[in-house]
Amino acid sequence: MPERYASSEPSDVADEKVPGWTPELGTRLKEVLKRVGGLRQASTIVGYKAEQIAKWRDGNARPPFYALQTLAKAAGVSLDWIAGTETSPGAPIVERSPAVSVDDELMGRITDAIARLYKDERVGLAPIDLGRLTARKYAEVVAATDDAAERLAMIKLIVTQLRADLRSTAEAPGTGKRLA
Structural domain span for residue 78: 2-83
The answer to whether residue 90 scores a pLDDT higher than 80 is: no
What is the Cα 33 distance to its own chain's centre?
A: 14
Among 12, 28, 7, 22, smallest CA distance to 59 is for: 22
Cβ count within 10 A of residue 179: 4
The answer to whether residue 5 scores a pLDDT higher than 50 is: no
pLDDT at 53: 92
Residues 74-82, mean pLDDT to the nearest whole number: 86
pLDDT at 11: 46
Q: Is 79 in the same domain as 124?
A: no
* C-alpha–C-alpha distance, residues 8 and 46, integer Å: 14
Does residue 176 contact residue 169 with C-beta atoms inside 8 Å? Answer: yes
- Which residues are bridge partners to 77 per DSSP? 93
| Cβ-Cβ contacts under 8 Å for 80 (sequence gap 6 or more) | 86, 91
pLDDT at 177: 55
**CATH number of the domain enclosing 75:** 1.10.260.40
Q: Is 75 in the same domain as 109?
A: no
Question: Does residue 122 sit within a domain?
Answer: yes
Does residue 71 contact residue 48 with C-beta atoms inside 8 Å? Answer: no
Residues 94-109, mean pLDDT to the nearest whole number: 73
Question: Does residue 90 sit within a domain?
Answer: no
Does residue 46 contact residue 65 with C-beta atoms inside 8 Å? Answer: no
Q: What is the mean pLDDT of the chain?
A: 81
166: DSSP letter: H
The answer to whether residue 89 scores a pLDDT higher than 70 is: no
Domain count, the chain: 2
Q: Is 64 in the same domain as 132?
A: no
Does residue 141 contact residue 158 with C-beta atoms inside 8 Å? Answer: yes
pLDDT in tens, 47-59: 899 999 999 999 9
Q: Is 69 in the same domain as 120?
A: no
